[in-house]
Structure 1
Amino acid sequence: MRLPPLPADQWDEQVQRALSGLLPRDRQNPADAGNALSTLVRHPDLTKAYLSLGVHLLFRSTLPARVRELAILRVAHRRGCAYEWAHHVEMAHESGVSAADIAAAQGGPPTDEFDRVIFTATDELDTTANLSDSTWAALGAHLDERQCMDLVFTVGGYGMLAMAFNTFGVEVEHTER
């Protein structure tokens, strides 16, 4: 771990303001915010700026939740981000993603043709920072213009987040369930 979560005695109003767009006041503490946010708040201004985009991608995106989660899982797998993977597998299940679909995000065969398009788009964006004309057209057969834009930003935003989590050494929380 290169950057540990910010210790509780250093959580101040600036840290709480940085988290206010995502977490209710009672969760704005190291125990309830989780390791990722507790690490990011070491830089409150950056956290607040990034969370503005993050809130859109996670809660206000025009993408169907299932599509969003498949793209995020593919990014997490490609980037080797254990933290992102662990948290989004759970969210994917809640969004109707099956165990077979999750396995496909790790390189297995997709069970659905549109899933294949999502994985191809994610792979292209991650590899070349661009989409081929054929992939753009395939996306357009299933998604409208805003959804396509949200997909590009989802892949880019979660790719950046995976880079940060991996670099900082953010550890997956081990909780009893």
Structure 2
Amino acid sequence: MRLPPLPADQWDDQVQHALSGLLPRDRRNPAGAGNALATLVRHPDLTKAYSSLGVHLLFRSTLPARARELAILRVAHRRGCAYEWAHHVEMAGESGVTAADIAAAQGGTPTEEFDRVIFAATDELETTSNLSDSTWVALGAHLDERQCMDLVFTVGNYAMLAMAFNTFGVEVEQTER
């Protein structure tokens, strides 16, 4: 771990302010925030600046939740991001993603055409930072313009987060059983 979560005794007003748009007051602490946010708040200004985009993509996006989670899982798999993968497998299940869908995100073949389009778009964006005309048209058969835009930003955002989490060494929280 290159950057551990910010210790509780360093959670000052600036950190609290940085998390104000992301978390309720009772979760603005190292345990409640989780390792990712508790690490990101080492740079409160960056965390605050990033939070608007992150909140939009995760909670206000026009992209259907299931499609969003499939794209995120594909990015997490391709980037080898254990933190992103662990958290979004859980969220994906809450969005109707099945175990077979999750296996497909790891390189299997999706059964649904729309899922194949989401994975193709994610793979193209990850590989070339662009979409082919045929993939753009295929997305347009399922998504409107804003949803396509939200997909592109979702893939880019979670690729960036995977890069940060992997570089900083953000560890998946240990859960008590």
| 2: CA distance, partners of 1:50 / 1:79 | 20
| 2: CA distance, partners of 1:176 / 1:97 | 25
2:32 is aligned to 32
Q: How does 1:73-84 map to 2 (within 5 A)?
A: 73-84=73-84
User: What secondary structure sits across from 1:131 in the alignment?
Assistant: coil
Q: What is the one-letter code of the residue matched to 2:5?
A: P
Q: Deviations over 1:94-135 (max 9, x none)?
A: 000000000000001101011000000000000100000000
Unmatched 5+ residue regions in structure 2? Answer: none
| 2: CA distance, partners of 1:163 / 1:66 | 23
| 2: CA distance, partners of 1:150 / 1:4 | 31
2:41 is aligned to 41
Unmatched 5+ residue regions in structure 1? Answer: none
Q: Deviations over 1:48-91 (max 9, x none)?
A: 11111000000000000000000000000000000000000000
For residue 149 of structure 1, report the CA deviation from its aligned partner. Answer: 0.1
2:130 is aligned to 130
2:103 is aligned to 103
Q: How does 1:49-68 map to 2 (within 5 A)?
A: 49-68=49-68
User: What secondary structure sits across from 1:97 in the alignment?
Assistant: coil
| 2: CA distance, partners of 1:161 / 1:18 | 17
Q: Deviations over 1:147-175 (max 9, x none)?
A: 00000000000000000000000000011
Q: How does 1:11-26 map to 2 (within 5 A)?
A: 11-26=11-26
Count of aligned pairs? 177
Relative to the length of structure 1, the TM-score reads 0.99
1:3 equivalent in alignment to 2:3: yes
1:94 is aligned to 94
For residue 176 of structure 1, report the CA deviation from its aligned partner. Answer: 2.0
1:172 is aligned to 172
User: What secondary structure sits across from 2:176 in the alignment?
Assistant: coil
Once the two structures are aligned, what percentage of the paired residues are identical? 90
| 2: CA distance, partners of 1:126 / 1:50 | 21
- Superposed structure 1 runs of 4+ greater than 6 Å apart: none
Q: What is the one-letter code of the residue matched to 1:60?
A: R
Q: What is the one-letter code of the residue matched to 2:17?
A: R
